Structure 1
Amino acid sequence: MFFCFYYTCGGFFRQPALWAFGKACAHLNPQKIAVLTDSCADISPALARERDIFVLPLKIIYPDKEYSDGVDITPQEIYQRMPQALPTTSLPDGGTLLSLLDEIKSQGFEKVIAICLSAGLSGTYNMVRLMAENYEGLQCAVFDSNSGSLGEGCLALEVTNRLAQGASWEELLLLVPRLRENTQVMFSLDTLEYLQKGGRIGKISCIAGTMLQIKPIISFAPDGQLASISKVRGRYRSMDEMAERIRAMVPTDGTPYTLATAHGGCPGDLEYLKNKLHDEIGCATHYYEGEIDCTLGVHTGPHLIGCGIQILE
């Protein structure tokens, strides 16, 4: 879940809110365009309300009960039940999506930009696309983020930034694919145990990696699937390498950019990573930080740490 901070190279400042809460927000958006995303975008409820972002929760399923990601279960509750209880994840509920679309229409919006979890990881994008594009009374454009967590969230948040600046529907349709190409995120895993349990790596690889304290750094491949981009021995070395990779992507010609960080139950590691990126965060146009969602946490286990950059235009 993202929280929003504003910086300049001279330090921290709070920007007055550009968005109101609730139905009045539609009146501040003359384009009458709503933004829809799913719970894997890791946008906090408070920030979603501030930006008038509608969030569709994925499903977390235990043998005895089904939950909605971020609604009636938190990542911390999932981590506390690990490793004895390991849930599965599933697509959002179709009825919930229809209810969200009904709510969007009832608030006076006429169009929807939807940013969804990578189709390489989930069927959420295809489900939303099929249902939203056939929903009467709203014009919907549904985008595959080719990402999740930091990447997906930054896309949705930047769309709201541009809406506040007066961007038109046509401009947003051209903007989202460009932003998607200019967004890079990466994560460091603390353990290989949950990837092994989910069948994503073999047991022997898991045991060897654990014994050697291997901390894989993963990112999203062009097809939207997770892929290893580096393997580092030691937790702090993995965070150091992520910071170096992000630092190398920061524009040197003054082009504006957004930085984001997120953690899965390891706020101390988040502070370490932020300190490594102190100067880059200080000069970012926007900086978002937050917590990893339940869905990603199920597959990676606790203590996931991530960072990302989005080059703006």
Structure 2
Amino acid sequence: MEKIALITDSASDITKDIVDKYNVKVLPFKIIYRDKEYSDGVDITSKYVYDTLETNAPTTSLPSMRDMEEMYDELKKEGYTHAIVVTISSKLSGFNNAIKLISEDHPEIKTYVHDSKSISKGETILIEESAEMIKQGKSFDEIVSELPKITDRINIYFVIGTLEYLIRGGRIGKVAGTIAQFLNLKPIVSVDKEGEYYTYAKVRGRKQSLNKIYDVVVSKLNDKKYDIHIMHGEAEAEAMTLLDKFKDHKNANFVNFGGYLSPVSGVHSGPGFIGVLIYEKE
């Protein structure tokens, strides 16, 4: 009989409630300061990251190989026969490849590593849907076949306060970033079907960027029903205002305020981040 484990990384912004409910294994990214290393979401908060970005900017690294190995040892002790791993987009991190390599050293647990081609709640949705399919008695192979279809129904749009941190982390072209900052452009950034950041729309100024991201999401809502998740990085009031505007739309199936973006994502996005993830309902 199959016993299927669910695994993700800390950039998924998965909540403790979901982790506890489905016994999800979460592998934390590392956040590295000059004098100390932290495990993302374990012994460091998003607030601490934002408070120290200007004076002591950290770097980040993948979950440790030791953490991955220990997780597989734990899975064996708990009697798991299969594992589904949902990772941050492989275009944004090397974690997808790293966990594939580790899983190959543990053939006793049949593992499928799914590239979410997303980040944050995009990963969480895939974990939750997998968990519900397990509850329904679906097999490992049936669940694996559904994950690409679920991925195709997830879209992310976000704005940031400054491009500085994406540039610093190598997540955006330096020339494009410098020009955008000079012109006070606040692009609406999305994630393409390959899981890579791209400019969805160019807007000048913060107010206009927030109005634009609202318009982009509403244009989707006018056609189909969606779940909506909103995350922020030191921009709670603006995020809540945006959330309230979505609540009354007839096609807003579920509107969720997810709170702070994970510490590791905060390192790369910086303060002023507001992200809206929409998940098309069938």
TM normalised by structure 1 equals 0.81
1:202 aligned residue: 174
Q: Structure 2: how far apart are the matches of 1:140 and 1:312?
A: 27
1:137 aligned residue: 108
* Alpha-carbon distance change, 205 to 172 in structure 1, aligned in 2, over 3 angstroms: closer
| 2:228 aligned with 1:259 | yes
* Alpha-carbon distance change, 111 to 190 in structure 1, aligned in 2, over 3 angstroms: same
| 2:13 aligned with 1:42 | yes
Verify the 8 A CA contact 1:196 1:203 in the aligned structure 2: no
Verify the 8 A CA contact 1:150 1:307 in the aligned structure 2: no
Q: Deviations over 1:179-208 (max 9, x none)?
A: 1111111111111222333353437953x5
1:33 aligned residue: 4
Q: How does 1:84-233 map to 2 (within 5 A)?
A: 84-199=55-170, 200-202=172-174, 205-206=177-178, 209-210=180-181, 212-233=183-204
Q: Structure 2: how far apart are the matches of 1:280 and 1:134?
A: 49
Q: Deviations over 1:219-264 (max 9, x none)?
A: 11232221111122232322222222222223746xx643211111
Q: Deviations over 1:29-53 (max 9, x none)?
A: x852121000111112233222321
- Aligned-pair identity in percent equals 34
Partner of 1:113, secondary structure, is strand
Q: Structure 2: how far apart are the matches of 1:202 and 1:273?
A: 30
Verify the 8 A CA contact 1:44 1:290 in the aligned structure 2: no
Verify the 8 A CA contact 2:221 2:252 in the aligned structure 1: no
TM normalised by structure 2 equals 0.90
Q: What is the deviation of 1:75?
A: 1.4
More RCO (CA 8 Å, sep 6+): 1
Question: Which structure 1 residue ranges, 5 or more long, are not aligned?
Answer: 1-29
Q: How many residues align?
A: 281
Question: Which structure 2 residue ranges, 5 or more long, are not aligned?
Answer: none
Verify the 8 A CA contact 1:198 1:299 in the aligned structure 2: yes
Q: Deviations over 1:166-191 (max 9, x none)?
A: 33212211110111111111111111
RMSD: 2.4
Q: Deviations over 1:109-160 (max 9, x none)?
A: 2211100011111110001111123314311111111111122222222222
